[in-house]
Amino acid sequence: MDGTNFRRAIARTRLAPVAAFPKRLMRVAKHDARVISVSAKWLLTSREHHNYTYDLTKLSREHLAWFVSVTCDVPVKQVRTYLTEIEEDEPLRQHIEQATAASDRRGLADRRVRYARRIGWYAIVRATRPKHIVETGVDKGLGTCVLASALLRNAADGEPGRVTSLDINPEAGYLAKSEPWASVVDLVIGDSLASIKALDRPVDLFLHDSNHSTGHERREFQAVSPKLAPGARLLTDNVTVTNVLAEHAEKTGRRFLAYRETPAQHWYPGDGIGIAW
């Protein structure tokens, strides 16, 4: 009996799981060793304790370009130029580096600037040219700066817009308080639901990234509904955790798609972008 036939014969017996155990053990050990090594490196080199930042893998970045292309109906080549645009925005990168180094929270922030899936937010703003964006959940203001940077480029192309950024924490948004980014940002402190209800201008692009409980996310999409401009797009940063935006899209007759990011060299499994349009 040759090797193949012997293995087939074993596979038919109750000994099969025992025979396969060493190979299975090696596979899972190899995977876990990689996770442990990346985690140990992160523990020693990063200072972040929440809202982690990282780059996307090359493949994940490419899938993001296609995601934006399909959902915003622009050629993928165009989307790739938008992704490169934000990645090569040196004034923004330097500003974030310097503002982080000077902030009270510098002990809990990494020096290197990494936008992760936010480069997709940037491309969506460049592709759809919203006049008014609303972002719920600001934290340091990294996403706000990315959105503002896209709005400034749109303005240079003759299509200006503003972002209203909502956070309950009075200390939120310190990265977005410098010019020129601050010139297109309206930072509103308070509970997002009350702030959404107080909006007095139609919303072209809405991004949920605040309290990620299912109930709060659902209430935000309900609250913003009467404020939306025709053809508005809805985004959620919570798409890997809840199905709220998909359900909202189905109820309101929209299409829905989700992208899941893959962080490069990070233990965190990543978040994603949900879009309804």
Ligand X SMILES: C[S@@+](CC[C@H](N)C(=O)[O-])C[C@H]1O[C@@H](n2cnc3c(N)ncnc32)[C@H](O)[C@@H]1O
> Which residues in this chain contact ligand X in the complex, by CB under 6 A?
51, 118, 136-139, 142-143, 166-169, 172, 191-192, 209-211
Closest to ligand X by CB, 84 or 169:
169
Shortest CB 14 distance to ligand X, Å: 51
Closest to ligand X by CB, 69 or 195:
195
d(CA 123, CA 78): 9
**Residues 115, 175 contacting (CB under 8 angstroms):** no
How far, rounded to the nearest angstrom, does the alpha carbon of residue 13 sit from its chain's CA centroid?
A: 49
Closest to ligand X by CB, 210 or 242:
210
Closest to ligand X by CB, 223 or 249:
223
Shortest CB 181 distance to ligand X, Å: 13
Residue of closest CB approach to ligand X: 143
Q: Is the peptide bond before 180 cis (omega within 30 degrees of 0)?
A: yes
Closest to ligand X by CB, 209 or 261:
209
Shortest CB 76 distance to ligand X, Å: 24
DSSP per-residue string spanning 58-72: HHHHHHHHHHHHHHH
d(CA 60, CA 12): 40
Shortest CB 30 distance to ligand X, Å: 33
Shortest CB 224 distance to ligand X, Å: 13
